[in-house]
């Protein structure tokens, strides 16, 4: 499915992200069933960020549930229900974060630079 932004975290707990409140080692979530991140209307988490590390079956099930919800939500409204200026502000935050972590647009090259030693 195409999306403006997808942040992948495979088999791990989230690293803190400035502006997103944590509750212990997980993000602070308003709606566990839908993975809605507290204080953000259009930010959702799924899988381990909700269920915790080590819960692969529960994480997969939850990810599918959130993906289904978001797919239906986006399909039901033009432009994902966002005003163009909201999208522009969000994209600028994404670009700022990408710059902060040294991402230059080449995903494969970036992964090679930031992958911890011993990971293939």
Total of domains in the chain:
2
pLDDT interval class at 87 (50, 70, 90):
confident
Whether the per-residue pLDDT at 5 is higher than 70: the answer is no
The pLDDT value recorded for residue 15 is 76
Can you give the residue range of the structural domain that contains 98?
Answer: 83-111
Separation of alpha carbons 3 and 16, rounded Å = 22
Query: Do 56 and 87 have their domain in common?
Result: no
Whether the per-residue pLDDT at 31 is higher than 90: the answer is yes
pLDDT digits (tens, 9 = 90+) for 45-82: 888 778 777 778 888 888 899 988 888 777 666 555 66
Q: With beta carbons less than 8 A apart as the criterion, state whether 55 and 48 touch.
A: yes
Separation of alpha carbons 37 and 49, rounded Å = 10
pLDDT interval class at 96 (50, 70, 90):
very high
């Amino acid at each position: 499915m195409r999306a403006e932004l997808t942040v992948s975290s495979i088999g791990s707990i989230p690293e803190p992200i400035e502006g997103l409140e944590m509750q212990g080692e997980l993000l602070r979530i308003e709606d566990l069933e839908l993975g809605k991140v507290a204080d953000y209307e259009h930010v959702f988490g799924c899988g381990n960020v909700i269920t915790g590390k080590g819960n692969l079956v529960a994480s997969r099930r939850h990810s599918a549930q959130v993906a289904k919800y978001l797919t239906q939500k986006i399909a039901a409204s033009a432009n994902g229900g966002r005003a163009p200026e909201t999208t522009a502000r969000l994209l600028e935050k994404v670009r700022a974060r990408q710059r902060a972590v040294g991402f230059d647009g080449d995903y494969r090259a970036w992964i090679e630079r930031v992958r911890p030693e011993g990971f293939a």
